[in-house]
Amino acid sequence: MRAALFTREYPPNVYGGAGVHVEYLSRELAKKIEVEVHCWGDQRSDDGNLRVRGEHPWSEISQGTFSKFKTALEAFSLNLSQVKALAGIDIVHTHTWYVSMAGFLAKKLYGVPFVLTTHSLEPLRAWKAEQLGSGYAMSSWMERTAILDADAVIAVSQGTKEDILRVYPLPAERVHVIYNGVDLDQYRKTEETTALEKYGVDPSTPYVLFVGRITRQKGVTHLVDAIRYMPPNTQVVLCAGAPDTPEIAAEMRLKVEEARQSNPRVVWIEKMVDKPEVIQLYSHARVFCCPSVYEPFGIINLEAMACEAAVVASSTGGIKEVVVDSETGYLVPFDQDPATGFPIHPEQFARDLGEKVSDLLADPQKCARFGKAGRARVEQVFSWTAIADQTISLYRQLIEQNQRSQARAQVSGVTS
C-alpha cells in the first residue's frame, strides 16, 4: 500500500496541532506501508518507507497583491501543482483546508480513494476572516467542496464528528473518529531545567504555563485576563508565538503589558520553542492552562499530560474527551456566542479560569495526583501506534471498496 499525505505543515515548518499530527502519523504509518508527504516548504527527504517532498506556492498567482486573500490563492495554486505526479498512489489523505483540494483533484485524476482529516472547521471559525480577509470565503468553499466529495472524513474527536454532521450534509457512516496522539517516549517528565533558565523562568517557583499560537481560537488573551484572579505575583509563562494577524499581536502585547503592571512575574516567550525545551516547560509547570474557545482536539493537552502536568482547560470540543474533570485536571465551561464562537461573558470566563488555576496552585499534592493520572490516561488511549493502525484499517477498507466499484464499472461497460 502506498499513501500520499498532503499537509501545509511538516517539520521543520510546524506551528500548530495539524503539523504535529502529520509528523507523527506519517512516521508511524511508514513502519507498515509506503508513505509520501507533500507539504509547503523546501523539505526533501527519503527515509525507508517515508518520502517527503516540499513545494512553494506559485508566486505568480499572488504577485502584486498584498490583500489578505493572498494566502487562499497560494493554497489553491499549490493544490494544483502537487497533484501532477502521483503515479502509483493507492490512496490520498489531506489535512486542513490548505491542501483539501489536492485530495479532491487526485481522486478525479487518478481514480483513488480520498480521505480527509478535519483538524478544525471553517464555518465554526468566523474569526478567520480577520486573518484571510475575503479569502475566508475561498477557504470555506475549498473545505466544503472537499468534505462533501471525500470517501471518508476523519474527525479527531467525537465532538468534531458532531460538528461536521451539524454543518455539512454528510451521511454519518462516512465520518470516522480517530483521535490525535502523542509520542510517549519523547513526551515524558524530565528533570532538566536549562530551558527554564534560558527564558527567565524561576524553577524554584510554581508557574502556570500556556503553549500555543497567538490566535483567537487558542484563547490566550483570556488567560492573560485571568491573571488578575490568581494569587499576587503568580509566575505565568506564556510560550506564545506565530500571531495570526498584526491586530491580535498588538492586542496581546497590550494585555501582557497591562498584566505586568500588577504582576511583574509574567514571562512571555515570543516564539514556538523546540521539543526538548517545551518538554522541560511542561515538566516543571504546576499547572498547564488551555483556554481555547474552539478546539476539535487539543494536542497540547496530551503533551502536557504526558509530562505529568495538571491541566486547566476550557470545556469545549475535543478537550472534553481528553481531560477528565477532577481526575487529570479541571474543565472550565463558558457560554459561547454561536455567531462568533467567542465567550458571551469573557470576564466571567477569565474569572473562572483564574479560580481553577488558583485552586491547583494552592494544592501541589492534587497537582501531582492529576499529573500521574494524566500520564496514565495518555498511555492507555492516545498512542500513535494504535492511531496509525486504525488509519491503515480505514485505508484498506476504502481501497477494497474502490477496487470493487471499478470492477463493477468495467463489467457494466463490457455488457453495455
150 and 19 in a single domain? The answer is: yes
> What Rg do the C-alpha atoms of the chain give, in angstroms?
22
271 and 352 in a single domain? The answer is: yes
At 416, is the pLDDT very low, low, confident or very high (cuts 50, 70, 90)? low
Residue with cell 513545494: 55
pLDDT digits (tens, 9 = 90+) for 219-254: 999 999 999 999 999 999 999 998 988 999 999 999
331 and 285 in a single domain? The answer is: yes
What's at 303, amino acid-wise? E
Q: How far, in Å, CA of 395 to CA of 180, rounded?
A: 17
270 and 394 in a single domain? The answer is: no
pLDDT digits (tens, 9 = 90+) for 34-81: 999 999 999 999 999 999 999 999 888 878 877 889 889 999 999 999
Tally the domains of the chain. Answer: 2
Nearest to residue 186, comparing CAs of 72, 299, 351? 299
Mean pLDDT estimate for the chain: 94
283 and 346 in a single domain? The answer is: yes
Looking at residue 4, its pLDDT comes to 98
The verdict on residue 60 lying in a domain is: yes
126 and 264 in a single domain? The answer is: no
Residue with cell 479541571: 330
pLDDT digits (tens, 9 = 90+) for 93-107: 999 999 999 999 999
Helix axes 135-149, 100-110, angle to 10 degrees: 40
pLDDT of 19 above 80: yes
The verdict on residue 187 lying in a domain is: no
169 and 216 in a single domain? The answer is: no
372 and 390 in a single domain? The answer is: no
pLDDT digits (tens, 9 = 90+) for 253-266: 999 999 999 999 99
Arithmetic mean of pLDDT, 170-182: 96
The verdict on residue 322 lying in a domain is: yes
The verdict on residue 376 lying in a domain is: yes
DSSP string for 94-126: EESGGGHHHHHHHHHHH---EEEEESS-GGG-T
The verdict on residue 186 lying in a domain is: no
Domain coverage including residue 371: 194-381
pLDDT of 407 above 90: no
The verdict on residue 257 lying in a domain is: yes
The verdict on residue 188 lying in a domain is: no
133 and 171 in a single domain? The answer is: yes
pLDDT digits (tens, 9 = 90+) for 39-52: 999 999 999 999 99
CB 267 within 8 A of CB 235: yes
353 and 395 in a single domain? The answer is: no
pTM of the entire predicted model: 0.84
pLDDT digits (tens, 9 = 90+) for 346-404: 999 999 999 999 999 999 999 999 999 999 999 999 999 999 999 999 999 999 999 99
CB 17 within 8 A of CB 300: yes
Looking at residue 415, its pLDDT comes to 61
The verdict on residue 189 lying in a domain is: no
What's at 271, amino acid-wise? K
Helix axes 364-381, 346-361, angle to 10 degrees: 100
255 and 121 in a single domain? The answer is: no
At 414, is the pLDDT very low, low, confident or very high (cuts 50, 70, 90)? low
Which CATH number is 68's domain given? 3.40.50.2000
33 and 147 in a single domain? The answer is: yes
